Amino acid sequence: MSENLSLVVHGPGDIKLEKRPIPEPCPGEVLLKIHSVGICGSDVHYWQHGRIGDFIVKKPMVLGHEAAGTVHKLGEGVEHLKVGDRVSIEPGVPRENCEFSKIGRYNLSPTIFFCATPPDDGTLCRYYVHNASYCFKLPECVSYEEGAMIEPLSVGIHACRRGGVHMGQKVLIFGAGTIGLMNLLVAKSMGASPIVVVDMVQERLDMAKCMGASCVCKMEKNTCPREMASKVKTALCGMPDVTIECTGAEQCVQSGIYATKSGGVLVLIGLGNTNTTAPLIAVTTRELDVRGIFRYCNTWPTAINMLASQMVDVKPMITHRFPLDQAIEAFELVKKGTALKVIVQCEEPEKKEDPQANALEQCQQQCQQLLQQCQQQCQQMQKDQKEHCGRIGGGRS
């Protein structure tokens, strides 16, 4: 039985690579050979703090929830997938057919399973079992890495849907990390224009510009929210219809409230403190609609279509790759905050070719062949001589 190397968090500050058994798929499930897994800020948070809000790591848990892999084994009753199919994994799987599920908002189901949210294990391992209905086949033209990016892309799709983003709207995005950039790509493909992206880090703003932001604005730690709103209005030649807040920072939430056009929508993706100080009176008197999002629902088929038709290109966001056995270094890098998206490659490596050994082997083989040829020729010559001596008669030896 080969090992199932997995990256496991035990408590705050404590992650280890461990060997775990390879699971068996139950009815309705598939066993996957995981190929690519993206590291999310939440994975790093569980590592550093052992919890996010009320989700607390009470027993060792495998991290990772942004994954794609290959179907390795089918559980009973699985018909839409076969062994060898390349799939992207939707990590949130409702456990019961509750009222939220029935109305199509299964992401709000209180008992939902979710990879790498305690107590549910994630996908940073070699072999992983998942509900087959939440594994989506990837077309040939969509790579495993893109398949792993579907999870953060889904956050963008769900946020833009909740925000009602559509053609011709002006959009403001706070935060130019992976989530902000995904929202930028989705908003753009929905026809929004112009789109302004705000961040504190110049490199991130440069990336946003490369990825299609109409304009960018730098925010400082001491930029007053009303001033930020004014800067945005200038940049967009008007107030945004939709603001997508990806940072969780109070300064950005306040700025978003002041900036958004009357009757518009402020989407909250970033998670901040339990309580936020905000000018709610402005929400009231200008009829703003403040809508949070919780993960996503019904986004995978859309995301696959978008990637397959090349409406969005997520590949530039992948800045670093590590094999699974170097996952801890990968996490250290993400923690630093300088990388954009770091992918962990989880397939067991094949034996590597040693060029020197190959050359030696080849040489040996050639020598072997030459030796055989020589021996054959010698034998033939001896045979010929015997015959010749026999014909002359007598024979001097």
- Residues in the site for another protein, rule: CB under 8 A? 53, 100, 103, 105, 107-108, 110, 162, 253, 262-263, 268, 271-294
Whole-angstrom distance, CA of residue 32 vs CA of residue 89: 10
Tell me how far, at minimum, the Cβ of 87 lies from another protein, in Å.
27
Tell me how far, at minimum, the Cβ of 108 lies from another protein, in Å.
4
Nearer to another protein, 124 or 268 (CB): 268
207 secondary structure, DSSP code: H
Whole-angstrom distance, CA of residue 117 vs CA of residue 64: 9
Nearer to another protein, 101 or 133 (CB): 101
Residue with tokens 């908003």: 187
For 109-207, strand residue ranges (E) read 113-114, 127-131, 135-137, 171-174, 195-199
Tell me how far, at minimum, the Cβ of 228 lies from another protein, in Å.
16
Instruction: Return the closest-CA partner of residue 303 out of 177, 104, 108, 147.
Output: 147
Tell me how far, at minimum, the Cβ of 279 lies from another protein, in Å.
6
Instruction: Return the closest-CA partner of residue 134 out of 190, 87, 70.
Output: 87
Tell me how crowded residue 32 is: count the other CB atoms within 10 A of its CB: 30
Nearer to another protein, 18 or 120 (CB): 120
The strand pair at 29-38 and 127-131 is best described as antiparallel
- State the amino acid at position 79 in one-letter form: E
Tell me how far, at minimum, the Cβ of 112 lies from another protein, in Å.
11
Tell me how far, at minimum, the Cβ of 49 lies from another protein, in Å.
16
Whole-angstrom distance, CA of residue 295 vs CA of residue 273: 18
Nearer to another protein, 45 or 73 (CB): 45
- Residue 325: Cβ-neighbour burial (10 angstroms; 0-12, 13-18, 19+): middle
Tell me how far, at minimum, the Cβ of 118 lies from another protein, in Å.
15
Nearer to another protein, 11 or 164 (CB): 164
Tell me how far, at minimum, the Cβ of 276 lies from another protein, in Å.
4
Whole-angstrom distance, CA of residue 229 vs CA of residue 66: 34
Nearer to another protein, 97 or 262 (CB): 262
Contacts of 147 (CB under 8 A, 6+ apart): 35, 36, 67, 68, 86, 87, 88, 138
Nearer to another protein, 271 or 374 (CB): 271
Nearer to another protein, 287 or 387 (CB): 287
